[in-house]
Amino acid sequence: MKTFEYTITDELGIHARPAGMLVKEASKFASKIMIASPKKEVDAKRIMGVMSMGAKKGDTVKLTIEGTDEAEAAASLEKFLQDNL
């Protein structure tokens, strides 16, 4: 299992466009990917779940990745967050 944390820097937090992009990126992997905000934890492959977290600028989210391609998924998602959120 791989885990990492990321602090949101986007002014609008995780809003519709980056949430959709995050789900699309997470869906490329077979591993189970969960994302947790200070308020709740959801499946990173479900758009409604990701948007319902209400993650704002300054919030720290924690991703937990477990499965056969977890190392590749963790590296890809960490880069995605740095580039987009």
Residues 41, 58, 3, CA angle at the centre, nearest 5°?
Answer: 45
| Positions marked catalytic | 15
